[in-house]
A and B are shown apart, each in its own frame.
Chain A
Amino acid sequence: MRKFLQSTGAVIFLLLLFSLTASELSGQSRKKKENTDIWKYEIEGVQTGVQGTYLIKVWSYSPNANLAIEQAKKNAVHGIIFRGFAGTGRVPGQRALATNPNLEEEKHDFFRLFFAEGGKYLKFVSLTNDGAVAAEDRLRVGKEYKIGVIMSVNVDALRKDLEEAGIIKSLGRGF
């Protein structure tokens, strides 16, 4: 009887642990999605990158600092496609790849897959310095963290990919 209770207790404990972990994971995933859906971030140029790349700092907001770092990759690619970034000092800003301001809505299906968790966007972005965040780039704003991560975005490859998918027009299109 005691043996039975012990084994049942162990099973219940494991089930509880599993459900807690699952809910934590789904909560994180939901938070990720919420943070991504509103696209709350800022971008600034850091330096002229090597040929075909932009070196940028992405400021992402999230209640979870680690989540903010992870979301920064998605935000970086999103920013390069739809927003561009302003210049800082002697680093010139760059325009967005998309010239149509309604592109995101018009090609919703494409971008939903593109920016899905583990989506294609990851091909075009890499963290510099292994994603280490400088102390001055980790700020607390109200209940949220504002984390600045320096990233390199392969803009040439990204542009080519979007051109080949027919999402944006190439320079020589129509000629």
Chain B
Amino acid sequence: MKKLLITIFILSCTAFNLLSQAKKPTIMVVPSDLWCNTNGYMMEFDNQGTRVKLPDYKRAMQESADLMVVISKINELMTQRGFPLKNLESSLKTLEIEAAESAMTSSRSGSELSESPVDKLKNIARADIWIQMTWTINNMGPRKSVTFVLQGLDAYTDKQVAGASGTGNQLIGAELPIMLETAVLSHLDNFNAQLQQHFEDMFENGREITLRIRKWDSFDGDLMSEYAGEELGFHIENWISENTVQGRFSTADASENRMIFEQVRIPLYDANNRAVDARTWLRGLQRYLKDRFMIDSRITMRGLGQATLTVGEK
């Protein structure tokens, strides 16, 4: 009996530990737009009369051996630190394979897979934190040095959560890949120290997300319509205030049609100790609106830290 109780205790402790792991952000290293532009890895297209330039990651990965060296070195060092990164090249390949498979997949009855224009738009390489890197080669006569910049950017808040930069020693006759490797070795520990501070802040003050509230055209009312003696927008704001860590959020924009909340600090776990992200947290607001005011709504999400609630219908 005693053994059984001990076993149950150990199993419940293990289960508790498994559940209490926060959702891990994915990180991916990409070359910056500046680097892509400087080295000719951009693609241009016509967006309703406006020429738009976008970085061509696929071509950069296929043609630049130096880029490969840097990404591979950063990935290697991050894996050593117990935080393996998503690889850009593999992500791009996976997207291509998925697209090809989706195009060819059909049911026995001949039905194709459902895909909305939004789904198509979202078929891009994704990460919660982007490590954007840039390097430039400085020439001083026969001497060369490398200026290296690493920026860790939160994909949802657009904040730089970590960074490291500097110019290495001037060398004569040194090979560029070796100079780049040295630059990565010189700066990555400082970068990781800041990244760790960001994670520690997250564990202490909650995950920072961006939240948008919108309304369907078909909705009979708007965010300024009164419900139970108060505007719907204020009801939403009150719910957010009560459900954020220490009531932390800021209302960036509010009109009858949309509201934008930034720096919203959501808890990492719910009442059942399950890990929470922006979407699961927003389900609480969706239920609140349905139960209290009989308002249907739809949640759309982007990664761990951005979600939109569109009120009026599903």
Contacts and interface: CB of A to CB of B under 8 A. Distances in A.
B190 A171 contact: no
Given A90-B169, A92-B187, A172-B24, A48 B182 contact: yes
Contacts of A51: 77, 185
Interface string B203-240: 10000000000000000000000000000000000000
Nearest to A53: B185
Nearest to A90: B169
Interface in A4-20: none
Contacts of B168: 48, 90
A90 B167 CA distance: 6
Give the bracket for the number of chain B residues in contact with chain A: 20 to 34
A175 B21 contact: yes
Contacts of B169: 47, 90-91
B197 interface: yes
B58 interface: no
Contact of A92 (B22, B23, B170, B186): B186
A94 B192 contact: no
Contacts of A90: 145, 166-170
B272 interface: no
Given A90-B167, A94-B189, A99 B197 contact: yes
Contacts of B195: 171
Interface string A26-66: 00000000000000000000011101100000000000000
From DSSP, what is the main secondary structure of chain A's interface residues? loop
Contacts of B81: 170-172
Contacts of B78: 171
- Chain A, interface size: which category? 20 to 34
B199 A48 contact: no
Nearest to A51: B185
Contacts of A171: 78, 81-83, 192, 195-196, 199
Contacts of B193: 95, 99
A87 interface: yes
A90 B182 CA distance: 12
B151 to A, nearest CB: 16
Contact of A155 (B167, B186, B189, B197): B189
A83 interface: no
Nearest to B185: A48
Contact of B83 (A52, A94, A156, A172): A172
A131 B80 CA distance: 30
B189 A95 contact: yes
A118 interface: no
Given A90-B145, A175-B23, A169 B196 contact: yes
A13 B192 CA distance: 62
A47 B169 CA distance: 9
Contacts of A47: 169
Contact of A99 (B167, B185, B200): B200
Given A95-B190, A99-B193, A170-B82, 11 more contacts: A90-B145, A90-B167, A92-B186, A92-B190, A93-B190, A95-B189, A99-B196, A99-B197, A169-B196, A171-B78, A171-B195
Give me the 4 closest cross-chain CB pairs, A-B, nearest first.
Answer: A175-B24, A95-B193, A48-B186, A172-B82
Interface of B: 21-25, 77-78, 80-83, 145, 164, 166-170, 182, 185-187, 189-190, 192-193, 195-197, 199-200, 203
Interface of A: 47-49, 51-52, 87, 90-95, 99, 155-156, 169-172, 174-175
